[in-house]
């Protein structure tokens, strides 16, 4: 998985198509990511200690990693990612511009 927590991504398919957000969590086992402000679902909760009133809580649900595309911060353009070795270290790079992302 080349997308990491904190990356800015664009949703390319589904109900949230066209929305951008930062990755909050990466779920490696299921190949899914949780993106801020994308794929909002309603959770009906009973009153508890953490939510004394209960009610409906809106939260982000995970979406498959194939449905998002990395957005390069410098050019603000969606691009694919690749891996290459620079100075004996494996780094991510943007395929469109060739810029190295990891320092």
Q: What pLDDT is recorded for position 61?
A: 96
- pLDDT at 102 > cutoff 90: no
- DSSP state at residue 66: G
Q: What pLDDT is recorded for position 73?
A: 87
- pLDDT at 103 > cutoff 80: no
**Span 6-25, average pLDDT:** 95
Query: pLDDT tens digit string along 27-38?
Result: 999 999 999 999
| 33 is a domain residue | yes
| 103 is a domain residue | no
* Domain interval for residue 14: 8-76
| 95 is a domain residue | no
| 19 is a domain residue | yes
| 97 is a domain residue | no
Query: pLDDT tens digit string along 37-93?
Result: 999 999 999 999 988 999 999 999 999 999 999 999 888 999 999 999 999 999 999
Q: How many folded domains does the chain comprise?
A: 1
| 67 is a domain residue | yes
Q: In the chain, what's the furthest Cα-to-Cα distance?
A: 56
| 27 is a domain residue | yes
CATH of residue 49's domain is 2.30.30.30
Tracing tokens 């410098």 back to the chain, one arrives at: 74
The pTM for the full model equals 0.85
Region for residue 95 given its phi and psi (left: phi exceeds 0; alpha: psi -120 to 50; beta: otherwise): alpha
| 3 is a domain residue | no
């Amino acid at each position: 998985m080349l997308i990491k927590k904190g990356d800015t991504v664009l949703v390319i398919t589904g109900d949230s198509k066209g929305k951008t957000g930062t990755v909050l969590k990466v779920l490696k086992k299921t190949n899914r990511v949780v993106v801020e402000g994308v794929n909002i679902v309603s959770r009906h909760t009973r009153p508890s200690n953490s939510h004394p009133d209960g009610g409906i809580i809106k939260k982000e649900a995970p979406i498959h990693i194939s449905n998002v595309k990395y957005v390069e911060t410098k050019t603000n353009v969606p691009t694919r990612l690749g891996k290459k070795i620079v100075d004996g270290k494996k780094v991510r790079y943007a395929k469109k511009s060739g810029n190295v992302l990891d320092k």
